[in-house]
């Protein structure tokens, strides 16, 4: 049977990826991760096309680095970046029809469809059902589990239990707003109704996911959570393929030196927080911890690299950077004392964590989400601290700041071994090739010639 599959496997793989957004519109890491994946697929010799939504009215196709982006124009007009509001068009029947209409015009049909995240699951499932093409869903976040996600905050993955039902989701959404600083009883009914609406969407996403040939989760922690809510979905059809490292052009040492000098940073004397400055990602915990650290070590600093606002971002010792290029971020990461991931939510996989492993930079993370499962071995290449505990975070920050060169070298080697085992290009692409082999059914097999 193995020989027959090898003989009948298509010589060329053509992949169509459905994703609402694509850079320059990138609300989060899913879009940047997809950009890296498309590039690697191309270098693997596979044909790649992405159906994305343009928010400036453009239509048609755009050639990127070896692959093609087909833009479907939306009625909404939103500037590029990450501050993208909820767009009703993406949840409308019109969006589904626009994706189908675009697909029908393609001169060459793909072997396989890929939904890049939860936002594209319904559109991709609809497209797969109409076309008969096998489809893969990439699970990158917890939207299918619970979109507000407050029910799982500050909890290790093994103990996390998403809320259930309309009432559970409504109450979870109320807590979501309360923990983010919104007060008063007046908006509670609106929040509760919004939560019930989100539960209805959650049910739609789960229904769509059950129609996919295979689910690919980006971490084992997400795989565990998916098994909890979809116990009937065949376990052998769920696999983990982690994100790829970030490959971007390098900045010069002079540019890095100028950046650090202009912000009063001493080389090697700062911690880095990379990501949106939200409650879920624990940006406030990083600020609180550096305040404690600086009571003992006044030369230590914190860089907050990412969009959003957090209380204390303007205090002495904190450098707030709302916009940093990926190239500069990689350069800053390489010189940091450690990367901080003090998140409260069940993050699917922290992209910058992968690059920290590649560069051998120590990582400090909370017990929540994927980092302690995927990339941090406590006490070896960093530390895992209790959730929502800035004092514990500050303690290990001071510990790592005091590491000598020999200790840092050991940590670097252990981090880079972990990177090679889980996140290197060769490992990831072999996993994708194996999944595509299983999903794509050769024409000869379909016609019974195998």
**Are 214 and 302 contained in the same domain?**
no
Pairing mode, strands 270-274 and 301-305: parallel
Average pLDDT for residues 233-245, to the nearest whole number?
93
**Are 433 and 410 contained in the same domain?**
no
- Round the average pLDDT of the chain to a whole number and report it: 90
3-state SS assignment for residue 152: helix
Average pLDDT for residues 376-393, to the nearest whole number?
96
**Are 330 and 316 contained in the same domain?**
yes
Is position 235 within any domain? yes
Residue 180 pLDDT grade (very low, low, confident, very high; cuts 50, 70, 90): confident
Among 7-16, 86-95, 134-143, 315-324, which is the least confidently predicted range?
7-16
Is position 394 within any domain? yes
Is position 79 within any domain? yes
**Are 314 and 225 contained in the same domain?**
no
Residue 330 pLDDT grade (very low, low, confident, very high; cuts 50, 70, 90): very high
Q: Per the structure, how many domains does the chain have?
A: 2
The whole-angstrom separation of Cα 352 and Cα 358 is 10
Residue 84 pLDDT grade (very low, low, confident, very high; cuts 50, 70, 90): confident
pLDDT tens readout for residues 9-66: 444 799 999 999 999 988 888 898 999 999 999 999 999 999 999 988 888 899 998 9
Q: In the chain, what are the helix, strand and coil shares in percent, each to the nearest 5?
A: 45, 15, 40
- pLDDT value at position 442? 52
Question: The domain that contains 285 carries what CATH number?
Answer: 3.40.50.2000
Token reading at 115: 């939904």
Residue 192 has pLDDT above 90, yes or no: yes
Is position 151 within any domain? no
**Are 278 and 386 contained in the same domain?**
yes
Residue 4 pLDDT grade (very low, low, confident, very high; cuts 50, 70, 90): very low
Residue 449 has pLDDT above 50, yes or no: no
Higher per-residue pLDDT: 446 or 78: 78
pTM summary value: 0.89
Is position 165 within any domain? no
Residue 130 has pLDDT above 90, yes or no: yes
**Are 287 and 225 contained in the same domain?**
no
Segments forming the whole domain that contains residue 386: 253-422
The whole-angstrom separation of Cα 77 and Cα 70 is 18
pLDDT tens readout for residues 144-171: 999 999 999 999 999 999 999 999 999 9
- pLDDT value at position 47? 95
Closest by CA to 32, choosing from 325, 246, 237, is 246
**Are 429 and 287 contained in the same domain?**
no
Residue 327 pLDDT grade (very low, low, confident, very high; cuts 50, 70, 90): very high
Residue 441 pLDDT grade (very low, low, confident, very high; cuts 50, 70, 90): low
Residue percentage of the chain with pLDDT more than 90? 74
Is position 187 within any domain? no
Is position 185 within any domain? no
Higher per-residue pLDDT: 175 or 268: 175
Q: Strands of 135-139's sheet, edge to edge?
A: 60-63, 68-73, 47-54, 14-18, 112-115, 135-139, 214-217, 238-240
Average pLDDT for residues 282-309, to the nearest whole number?
95
**Are 265 and 400 contained in the same domain?**
yes
Instruction: Using the Cα atoms of residue 374, residue 377, residue 383 and residue 384 in order, give the sign of their dihedral.
Output: positive
**Are 215 and 326 contained in the same domain?**
no
**Are 316 and 283 contained in the same domain?**
yes
**Are 259 and 396 contained in the same domain?**
yes
Average pLDDT for residues 262-278, to the nearest whole number?
89
Residue percentage of the chain with pLDDT more than 70? 95
**Are 261 and 360 contained in the same domain?**
yes
Is position 306 within any domain? yes
CA 251 to each of CA 32, 336, 438: distance values in angstroms, whole numbers, following the listed order? 19, 16, 41
């Amino acid at each position: 049977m193995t020989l027959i599959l090898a003989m009948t496997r298509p010589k060329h793989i053509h992949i169509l990826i459905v994703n609402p957004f694509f850079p320059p519109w990138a609300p989060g890491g899913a879009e940047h991760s997809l950009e890296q994946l498309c590039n690697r697929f191309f270098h693997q010799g596979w044909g790649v096309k992405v159906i994305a939504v343009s928010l400036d009215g453009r239509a048609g196709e755009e050639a990127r680095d070896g692959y093609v982006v087909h833009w479907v124009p939306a009625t909404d007009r939103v500037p590029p970046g990450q501050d993208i509001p909820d767009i009703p068009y993406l949840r409308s029947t019109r969006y589904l029809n626009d994706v189908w209409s675009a697909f029908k015009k393609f001169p060459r049909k793909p072997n396989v469809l890929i939904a890049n995240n939860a936002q594209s699951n319904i559109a991709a499932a609809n497209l797969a059902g109409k076309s008969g093409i096998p489809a893969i869903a990439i699970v990158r976040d917890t939207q299918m589990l619970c979109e507000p996600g407050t029910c799982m905050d500050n909890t290790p993955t093994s103990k996390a239990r998403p809320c259930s039902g309309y009432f559970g989701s409504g109450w979870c959404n109320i807590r979501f707003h309360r923990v983010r600083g919104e007060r008063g009883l007046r908006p509670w009914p609106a929040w509760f109704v919004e939560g019930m609406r989100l539960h209805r969407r959650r049910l739609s996403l789960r229904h769509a996911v059950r129609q996919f040939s295979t689910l690919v989760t980006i971490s084992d922690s997400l795989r565990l959570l998916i098994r909890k809510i979809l116990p009937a979905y065949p376990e052998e059809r769920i696999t983990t393929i982690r994100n790829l490292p970030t490959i971007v052009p390098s900045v010069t040492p002079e540019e890095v030196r100028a950046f650090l000098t202009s912000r009063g940073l001493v080389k090697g004397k700062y911690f880095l927080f990379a990501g949106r400055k939200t409650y879920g990602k624990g940006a406030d915990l990083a600020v609180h911890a550096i305040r404690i650290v600086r009571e003992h070590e006044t030369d230590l600093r914190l860089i907050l690299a990412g969009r959003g606002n957090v209380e204390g971002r303007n205090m002495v010792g904190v450098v707030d950077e709302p916009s940093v290029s990926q190239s500069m971020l990689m350069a800053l990461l390489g010189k940091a004392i450690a990367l901080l991931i003090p998140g409260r939510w069940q993050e699917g996989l922290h992209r910058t964590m992968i690059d920290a492993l590649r560069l051998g930079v120590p990582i400090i993370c909370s017990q929540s989400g994927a980092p302690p499962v995927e990339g941090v071995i406590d006490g070896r290449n960093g530390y895992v601290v209790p959730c929502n505990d800035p004092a514990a975070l500050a303690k290990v920050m001071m510990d790592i700041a005091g590491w000598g060169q020999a200790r840092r070298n050991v940590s670097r080697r252990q981090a880079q071994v972990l990177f090679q085992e889980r996140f290197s290009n060769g490992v990831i692409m072999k996993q994708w090739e194996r999944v595509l082999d299983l999903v794509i059914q050769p024409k000869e097999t379909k016609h019974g010639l195998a």
